[in-house]
Amino acid sequence: MSPGLVGRSIVGVELHKPKLFSAAAGLNLDDLIGRCIERIWRRGKFTIWQLSGGLTLVVHLKLAGQMVHLDNGGHELGHGGHPVPMWGTPMPHKSSHVVFCLDDGSVLYLTDIRQFARLHLMPQTEVEAFIKQQRIGVEPLTRKFTSAQLAEKLRRRSIPLKTTIMDQSVMGGVGNIYADESLWRARLHPRRPANSLTTQEVTRLHRAIRAVLDYAVREGATFVPHGKAISDRDFPYCHGRAGSPCPRCGTIIQKEWVGGRGTHFCPKCQKPPVAVAVA
């Protein structure tokens, strides 16, 4: 993981959106300067940078954050997180809110159009407690998230399917992009009433959510060396592609508003409900 980052020292940090960074009592942004990145590991959706001198930087890229590491010639050494903007976009992007300058002249950009990503600097001894505190909802990638459990949640709701799977009390971690991707993958229309799904459709949705989030977690929490197999530059397949052909059937992807969120779907693969409910 992150072959280009481990062993490097941080020589400068620019923070353009202060809300993205927080530090434990007595620490601040300047405490990053001069620290060597000794090890990077992950826990759930957190990426944990173990720094020299007993400090740790805990990074959560949330729903749209990404990191791109460029060498001093501007060539990509690796990337991680979400493809927003698409991989290969010139850096810095206007949403590159945090910039790390490293001792070999390489630069790491944290870009987040949604500004939800968070960096927390703390003593290494506080990391375990911090991560425990952050847990929310049912994690769709754990064994607790079963097809039967999902069916039970859907059965009680007549609101649009997309709104339901984004509800944090139904499950954690499904943001707008991943909701669109899961529904496209499962071939289910976002406006289908949640309680209208057959058992077979629930199974398909359950599998799709796991597959999409598994991809998201790997991409979000690991750092992909340039060009390696885990990176999928075509993702997302449906979200954000209004006006482009569906990668599965070639029909033009449409965009509508569902529950106040911009929603992308293929009108052929994802058959609309018989009576269209207005979200």
CB of 188 to Zn ion, least distance (A): 12
Radius of gyration, CA atoms only, the chain: 20
Interacting residues of 100 by C-beta distance below 8 A, sequence separation 6+: 10, 12, 13, 32, 107, 108, 110
Q: Does 171 bind Zn ion (CB under 5 A)?
A: no
- Residue 51, beta-bridge partner list: 37
- The C-alpha atoms of residue 184 and residue 186 are separated, in whole angstroms, by 5
Taking contact as CB under 5 A, which single stretch among the options 65-73, 150-158, 215-223, 241-249 is the one that binds Zn ion? 241-249
CB of 192 to Zn ion, least distance (A): 16
Q: Does 268 bind Zn ion (CB under 5 A)?
A: yes
Q: Which of 102, 94, 101 is nearest to 8 (CA)?
A: 102
- The C-alpha atoms of residue 143 and residue 23 are separated, in whole angstroms, by 33
- Restricted to residues 75-94, the positions that interact with Zn ion (CB under 5 A) are none
Taking contact as CB under 5 A, which single stretch among the options 5-13, 40-48, 185-193, 267-275 is the one that binds Zn ion? 267-275
- Restricted to residues 109-128, the positions that interact with Zn ion (CB under 5 A) are none
Which two tokens mark 24? 């434990």
What is the torsion angle, in degrees rounded to the nearest 10, for the CA atoms of residue 131, residue 139, residue 176 and residue 96?
20
Select from 98, 101, 209, 266 the one that contacts Zn ion (CB under 5 A). 266
Number of residues that bind Zn ion (CB under 5 A): 7
Taking the CB of residue 128, how many other CB atoms lie within 10 A of it?
10
- Nearer Cβ to Zn ion (224/266): 266
- Nearer Cβ to Zn ion (230/249): 249
Taking contact as CB under 5 A, which single stretch among the options 41-49, 85-93, 194-202, 238-246 is the one that binds Zn ion? 238-246
- Nearer Cβ to Zn ion (52/251): 251
Site mask, Zn ion, residues 243-262, x = CB under 5 A?
A: ---x-xx-x-----------
CB of 28 to Zn ion, least distance (A): 50
CB of 198 to Zn ion, least distance (A): 20
Site mask, Zn ion, residues 59-78, x = CB under 5 A?
A: --------------------
User: Reduced to 3 DSSP states, what percent helix, strand and coil does the chain have, rounded to the nearest 5?
Assistant: 25, 25, 45
Interacting residues of 178 by C-beta distance below 8 A, sequence separation 6+: 63, 209, 212, 213, 216
Q: Does 271 bind Zn ion (CB under 5 A)?
A: no
CA distances to 12, 28, 157, 216 from 212, rounded to whole Å, are 35, 36, 23, 6
- Nearer Cβ to Zn ion (73/250): 250
**Interface ranges with Zn ion (CB under 5 A):** 246, 248-249, 251, 266, 268-269
